[in-house]
């Protein structure tokens, strides 16, 4: 974090105090100005693609100095990647792509006045706004589980300190303990990821704590990639992972943090380590700004990603109601590109073509056994609909799975360069 702090417009922040009469920060020399809220996967991609068009002034608002990718964080939990290798600064976006980075949180949006209020004080004005705040948790749906409880029973569903906490707990757990994963109801960030987590932690246990067990208490009765996971669990980790669907348990009702236990309708489970992944909703600024509907997520136009509730404001990534598109980094990146070209078209009259929306995820079952899926989407009747879907099959050769795991590693480095502005 050396150089990009230089670009955190400290002077401007100091000069423009918040208030009704305070002037908005001046727009850059006649170029249209886009503000992007959230420097995660969706927001960084939008900012980068818009800035590279050179005709638009782009400001990215993000409170954290670095982004730790959720994807591959299950490899970290299993001791297969360092957290540092999953951490990206935003400096390349500033230095190579000319994006102004403001390290702050957006606390309010004024759609009529086209302004964004920051926690640090100033108000920024925009011609178009893109909001990409990721997810927030519906604390309270599981009795006793709140932000304080998450410091003892981590969710590790936003990578960073939460991932480190869970890793520490897994490392210090005695052999023979039960690791409980509470898997959330739909829709949630990255549908296969709770089960990838079970697989990779099982890989870790198999080596270091072979008497340990993993219990998945699910809020659902089926899950993404189920056949592939269950096949892998019986091949790699026989007897180690137990999955209990909601129809058996009535799902999780409460946690008892002091007793380290998880309470379902009929039973209480003692956990050596508990990973509670709560139900989710759009990042909080979405709700505050009137971008969410009753579902808790943000409805958008499937071509431009403009909010259907607040014209002039676009939303991409996990926060949206994505129709058939899963909440994944790949989806967020794909939506962000479509959004960037649509925003550019609306501001500069550049041409706009029907977007191609894709998702492709790599999921690890073991370090050398991964599966993949590939989906294409199109807009239909105002919704994003799946056009084609392909997924790895049970019974593929070990060699094919090894190749997929190898591709996953290649994908990770290319993808993060695309998002955070690496490459040449």
Residues that bind other proteins (CB under 8 A): 49, 52-55, 96, 330, 333-334, 337, 341, 348-353, 355-356, 358, 360, 372-376, 387-392, 406-411, 413-415, 417-418, 421, 423-424
Question: DSSP character for 318?
Answer: G
Residue 283, Cβ density class (10 Å: 0-12 exposed, 13-18 middle, ≥19 buried): buried
**Look-up of token digits 């709140």:** 146
d(CA 182, CA 275): 6
- Bridge partner list, 179: 214, 273
**Rounded least distance, CB 30 to ligand FAD, Å:** 26
Q: Which does 327 bind (CB under 5 to 8 A by kind): other proteins, ligand FAD, none?
A: ligand FAD
Buried b (16+ CB within 10 A) or exposed e, 316-353: bbbbbbbbbbbbbbbbbbbbbbbbbbbbbebbeeeeee
Q: Which does 2 bind (CB under 5 to 8 A by kind): other proteins, ligand FAD, none?
A: none
Residue partners of 360: CB distance under 8 A and separation at least 6: 330, 372, 373, 374, 375, 411
**Rounded least distance, CB 239 to ligand FAD, Å:** 24
Q: Which is nearer to ligand FAD, 49 or 362 (CB)?
A: 362
**Rounded least distance, CB 136 to other proteins, Å:** 26
- Bridge partner list, 383: 380
**Rounded least distance, CB 423 to other proteins, Å:** 3
Q: Which does 63 bind (CB under 5 to 8 A by kind): other proteins, ligand FAD, none?
A: ligand FAD
Token pair of 171, please? 């490392």
Q: Which is nearer to other proteins, 54 or 381 (CB)?
A: 54
**Rounded least distance, CB 243 to ligand FAD, Å:** 17
Task: Give the residue among 10, 8, 18, 50 at the shortest CA–CA distance from 31.
Answer: 50
Q: Which does 132 bind (CB under 5 to 8 A by kind): other proteins, ligand FAD, none?
A: ligand FAD
- Which residues here bind ligand FAD, judged by CB under 6 A? 37-43, 61-64, 67, 70-71, 73-74, 105-106, 132-134, 157, 189-190, 193, 283, 285, 317-319, 327-330, 332, 361-362
């Amino acid at each position: 974090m050396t150089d990009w702090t230089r670009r955190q417009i400290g002077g401007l922040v100091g000069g423009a105090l918040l208030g009704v009469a305070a002037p908005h920060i001046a727009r850059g020399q006649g170029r249209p100005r886009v503000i992007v809220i959230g420097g995660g996967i969706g927001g960084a991609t939008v900012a980068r693609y818009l800035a590279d068009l050179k005709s638009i002034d782009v400001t990215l608002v993000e409170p954290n100095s670095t982004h730790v990718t959720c994807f591959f964080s299950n490899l970290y939990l299993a001791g297969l990647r360092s957290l540092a290798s999953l951490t990206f600064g935003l400096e390349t976006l500033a230095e190579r792509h000319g994006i102004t980075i403001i390290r702050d949180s957006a606390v309010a949006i004024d759609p009529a006045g086209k302004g964004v209020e920051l926690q640090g004080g100033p108000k920024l004005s925009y011609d178009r706004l893109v909001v990409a705040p990721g997810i927030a948790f519906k604390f309270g749906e599981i009795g006793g589980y709140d932000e304080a409880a998450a410091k003892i029973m981590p969710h590790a569903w936003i990578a960073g300190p939460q991932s480190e906490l869970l890793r520490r707990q897994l490392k210090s757990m005695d052999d023979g303990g039960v690791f409980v994963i509470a898997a959330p109801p739909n829709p949630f960030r990255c549908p296969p990821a709770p089960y990838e987590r079970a697989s990779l932690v099982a890989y870790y246990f198999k080596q270091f704590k072979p008497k340990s067990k993993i219990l998945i208490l699910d809020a659902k009765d089926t899950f993404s990639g189920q056949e592939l996971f269950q096949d892998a669990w019986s091949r790699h980790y026989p007897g180690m992972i137990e999955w209990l669907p909601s129809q058996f348990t009535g799902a999780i009702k409460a946690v008892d943090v002091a007793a380290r236990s998880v309470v379902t309708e009929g039973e209480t489970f003692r956990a050596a380590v508990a990973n509670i992944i709560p139900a989710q909703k759009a990042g909080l600024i979405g709700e505050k700004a009137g971008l969410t509907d009753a579902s808790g997520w943000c409805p958008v136009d499937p071509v431009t990603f403009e909010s259907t509730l607040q014209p002039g404001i676009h939303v991409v990534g996990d926060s949206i109601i994505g129709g058939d598109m899963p909440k994944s980094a790949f989806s967020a990146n794909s939506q962000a590109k479509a959004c960037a070209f649509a925003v550019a078209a609306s501001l500069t009259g550049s041409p706009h073509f029907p977007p191609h929306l894709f998702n492709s995820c790599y999921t690890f079952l073991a370090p050398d056994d991964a599966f993949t899926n590939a989906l294409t989407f199109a807009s239909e009747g105002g919704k994003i609909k799946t056009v084609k879907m392909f997924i790895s099959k049970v019974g593929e050769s070990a060699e094919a799975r090894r190749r997929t795991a190898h591709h996953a590693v290649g994908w990770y480095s290319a993808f993060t360069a695309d998002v955070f502005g690496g490459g040449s």
